Amino acid sequence: MCRRRHSTNASRRSALELLLPRGVFVAATRQEIEAPLFPEEEPVLASAVEGRRREFATGRACARNALAELGLPAAAIPADPSGAPRWPATVVGSITHCRGYRAAAVGRAAEFDAVGIDAEPNLRLPPEVLGAIALPVERERVRWLLRDAPGPCWDRLLFSAKEAVFKAWFPLTGTRLDFEDAEVAFDVAGGRFSARLRARRHGPAGTPPTLAGRWAVTAGILATAIALPAGRVFSPQ
């Protein structure tokens, strides 16, 4: 396990609350929430085991709690064929779950083009997984970060950052990214990261954008988040 550093204040808050801007609301829990599902949400669980059902229900409960913080009524959040949440028309959002942590983040579509969040345990990835998800330059960065900047498990944080990028990108563009389609670099001191998209996955304006996000480690959880302000991602460079 990687060594961890916590600030007293940060450890009292959800990791993701530290990362997202005003106007994005987060609901998070470290325990399962027993809450009914909407009928529209049930089909995705037709063959799910009980653990997956509890995970899904807790994520949807967090999402509805976040919608309430936004001033919106509870609503069904079914899954599209890819498994991604389908939010109400006026909302953008993201859901994440890992061992011991569930969370959802939502914002108004008039203010944000997309939100992407991810959470992971602060544990090293198996070596073969890092090889599958990281570009050569990223593997080199991870090696020196693990050596020179102990605290976060940087290999797992790289995976989390890419997941947050993918969760923001797909609803915005309808384009799926592979792990090699985004090159991530971390600002160690500032708690930020950048994800440069490669040319074959360019956006509507024809120029591969660089997406900016933030990261944090609190109470054993690595969290990454991206909130894209409305209309800025594909504005002229």
Nearest CA-CA partner of 105 in 163, 30, 25, 172: 25
Could you tell me the domains of the chain? 10-117 (3.90.470.20), 122-222 (no CATH)
The answer to whether 219 touches 206, Cβ cutoff 8 Å, is: no
Name the least confident of 21-35, 43-57, 171-185, 202-216: 202-216
| pTM for the structure as a whole | 0.90
Q: How far apart are CA 70 and CA 86, in angstroms?
A: 17
The answer to whether the Cα torsion of 131, 137, 2, 222 is positive or negative is: negative
If you ran DSSP here, which 8-state letter would residue 186 be given?
Answer: E
Q: Could you read off the pLDDT of 78-137 as tens digits, one per residue?
A: 998 888 999 999 999 999 999 989 999 999 999 999 999 999 999 999 989 999 999 999
Is the pLDDT at 7 greater than 80, yes or no?
A: no
What pLDDT is stored for residue 13 in this prediction? 59
If you ran DSSP here, which 8-state letter would residue 85 be given?
Answer: B
Residue type, 195: A
Mean pLDDT in residue range 194-222: 80
Mean pLDDT in residue range 175-189: 94
pLDDT higher at 66 or 202: 66
pLDDT higher at 59 or 10: 59
Mean pLDDT of the chain: 88
Band (pLDDT 50/70/90 cuts) for residue 233 is low
Mean pLDDT in residue range 209-223: 94
Contacts of 229 (CB under 8 A, 6+ apart): 111, 112, 113
Band (pLDDT 50/70/90 cuts) for residue 18 is confident
Q: How far apart are CA 81 and CA 103, in angstroms?
A: 22
